[in-house]
Amino acid sequence: MSDGIQARTGQYLHAHGAVRRRKVGCTTYLVGIAGAYDAFGLIGPEHNGVFVLDDTHKRVILDRHAENPAGGYFGPNKAQWSELAKLMTMPAPEFRRFIADHPRAR
């Protein structure tokens, strides 16, 4: 199996260790780096990047942030790791604003 699709969270396939848990207020989020998206068995490495899931309410918040145009099969690139670290350390109001302003927010 490729480095970027060793584990699964929802429909997102990712490398081991590429998902973090973050609590903001009463909501727990899963923030990770997808190597591919599983569309009912069709694995799409072109749909990769940072994703944010609302684990409390079981919904997708955003995905495909900081996509790697080369695909995600070979694991996260340095820019994606950097974005994950940034999202995990930014203050809660900034985290919420990032989500609200993101073009792929739901």
Token digits for 16? 């081991």
Task: Give how far the C-alpha of residue 32 lies from the chain's centroid of Cα atoms, to the nearest Å.
Answer: 3
Specify the pLDDT at position 1. 57
Specify the pLDDT at position 44. 87
Specify the pLDDT at position 3. 81
Amino acid identity, position 24: V
What DSSP state is assigned to residue 106?
-
What DSSP state is assigned to residue 78?
H
- How big is the chain by its Cα radius of gyration, in Å? 13
Specify the pLDDT at position 15. 94
pTM: 0.94
Q: What is the mean pLDDT of each run of 10 residues along the chain (106 residues)?
A: 85 96 98 96 92 98 96 93 98 98 96
- Given a contact cutoff of 8 angstroms between Cβ atoms, the answer to whether 50 and 87 are in contact is yes
